[in-house]
Structure 1
């Protein structure tokens, strides 16, 4: 448990969110009984299960095996980067953006054992890729699930609505990846230090992963989480101790801070005026709100005032780029990167991506009219 306590004590993001919450509590108009309902417990349970399962796969040593094979397969940094970016985008279209990251980021981290690669930059691009890829389908990310469930579009119609933006962003991201990663040969270590591969732990982790994903679709997340926790408690307690528990508290604090923000009395008149905005105003507001409170809470808020139009769908997905809070996937990826410098380096790529996406997205919307 000292490992968990040290993680909590060093988590500056958690400390900042707690401080903001303490500041807003006396200013917000709410009842204390409302706070538990402010947290999306389904998201918290989903993240908890994914953290456990990913750590189980990592501790099994299989990521080392797969990482070694990738390094042998690819000879140049650019080719490997393009492959990882495409894999992240593709996985996110049907496994959701957070699941794609929980699979690819730990695998990416193992590559440093076998070679000299710009690992942090690669993880940044994977975070950008899941934001771009996940917007294509109704199940790619939480905001799309909300938009699709509130609207009347079929799955093919929703994909057709989002396809031009997805194609534009993926072409942009592939060009940016090509430019950002040189075609130089990968400098491989002569002898990578790989941990032993524990096949039983790997097999049970894969099996539980499948069960957990199916349980998510069947709305049985709580029972699946109990099953995953019980299995690791019996087989590998180190998995439960070594996951990033403070990340879960960060998400809880984010949900509560967003709730308090929306209950500040001086903001209520502004929320009431949202329904009177034109397309341009809604487009800018959805992107701007996403930068501050993340695109999922922004979608929840805006759907109370406006219908799930193509403008709203494009805007909240574009809002995943830019600042760190824009998408919860950004936070997940950068936390897993385990690099203090990755936080500001992320914005060197994400902010230009946001500006380009805003401009290109607006022009595309008008071309489609």
Structure 2
């Protein structure tokens, strides 16, 4: 095969792998041509602070990976947990707990690379774990007002005390996590962890890069928390460009482009007059209607845009929070955390496997959460 043919084949394979980017870029472009809007609208839809936060997290986690710290932690963990189900349940629980404190995307950026590293030295089924961790992060982040963007938005909008908001969402989060834990126990193999001894000690830790990257991650989380994501990300990129250029070169820049396309396309779609007029006809003062609308809207445009779309029409912020958090299950687009988990894991047929599990999970979870919320909330 000629060099030109090889390049064409490589580009076709790359474009096929980036179908999500192409789809939403096409949607954003079509809407821009059919329904032109002022530049300020596109800047608002682009959600620059969110993209900057994602960039900062990508930079810090790439540094942690390149330092060998994740591989070292993976070896230490599998040496202490001896069954696949026990190890899987530990990772799922850790994902959910971290999501309550550090937000859902930060949790995934920590746990999924750890899971991949464990997969290289053991027989842990990484593809299944990536799906379970995506479900777990949605369940865990539901409980906390700062666990995910939709909760943060609704918590601030409703002006509820932190404990009040968390207690109101406790029944929903408890049902979600119980179902994820049961799925993990049923789906993961029964066997023991089989170590590949030659791989366990094969990664030395570069202490300066490890310490600097962990500090960078903590600094980025704080910058996001206090509304300084853009300068925080720029400082991280500059620091890595000077001190760890190889790590910066390995950043998944196409992931950032994909999220930018999603934000532009879905943000514009959600504000189309036809979409808004359709929502105005719904009786969102009825709990079941609001619940179903939040879930369906999340499946179509992701749960953060769905929250923005329904926020001014919903009288009960807690009810809307329950709905859009449940809406994070089902289709991968339901929550951007799903896309992050799948992208980080990079498993063959990962999207298909996710939908085989997540769609039935939504169908089981949705009625159970609704009953728990109505009876106990």
CA contact (8 A) 1:7 1:246 kept: no
Equivalent residue, structure 2, for 1:64: 71
2:132 is the alignment partner of 1:125: yes
Measured against aligned partners, the alpha-carbon deviations of 1:285-324 in whole angstroms (never above 9, x if no partner) come to 1100101111011001111222343221110000000000
Which structure 2 residues correspond to residues 39-118 of structure 1 after superposition, within 5 A?
Answer: 39-118=46-125
3-state SS in 2 of match to 1:20:
helix
Q: What runs of 5+ residues in structure 1 fail to find an aligned partner?
A: none
Over the aligned positions, Cα root-mean-square deviation in angstroms equals 2.1
3-state SS in 1 of match to 2:33:
coil
3-state SS in 2 of match to 1:311:
helix
Measured against aligned partners, the alpha-carbon deviations of 1:305-352 in whole angstroms (never above 9, x if no partner) come to 223432211100000000000000000000011113111001122112
Measured against aligned partners, the alpha-carbon deviations of 1:22-57 in whole angstroms (never above 9, x if no partner) come to 333333363355212211111101100000000000
Equivalent residue, structure 1, for 2:203: 195
Equivalent residue, structure 2, for 1:273: 281
What displacement does 1:217 show?
Answer: 2.2
Measured against aligned partners, the alpha-carbon deviations of 1:6-30 in whole angstroms (never above 9, x if no partner) come to 9678522101111222333333363
2:235 is the alignment partner of 1:227: yes
* Residues paired across the two proteins, number: 367
In structure 2, distance between residues paired with 1:287 and 1:182: 32
2:362 is the alignment partner of 1:354: yes
Q: What runs of 5+ residues in structure 2 fail to find an aligned partner?
A: 1-9
Deviates more, 1:238-247 or 1:216-225: 216-225
In structure 1, distance between residues paired with 2:276 and 2:169: 31
CA contact (8 A) 2:85 2:185 kept: yes
With over 3 angstroms needed to count, the CA separation of the structure-2 counterparts of 1:310 and 1:37, relative to structure 1, is closer
Equivalent residue, structure 1, for 2:317: 309
CA contact (8 A) 1:78 1:177 kept: yes
Equivalent residue, structure 2, for 1:214: 222
The one of 251, 263, 268 equivalent to 1:260 is 268
- Report the TM-score when normalising by structure 1: 0.94
With over 3 angstroms needed to count, the CA separation of the structure-2 counterparts of 1:192 and 1:289, relative to structure 1, is same
In structure 2, distance between residues paired with 1:312 and 1:276: 10
In structure 2, distance between residues paired with 1:276 and 1:85: 34
The one of 241, 246, 258 equivalent to 1:238 is 246
What displacement does 1:110 show?
Answer: 0.7
What displacement does 1:117 show?
Answer: 1.9
3-state SS in 2 of match to 1:192:
helix
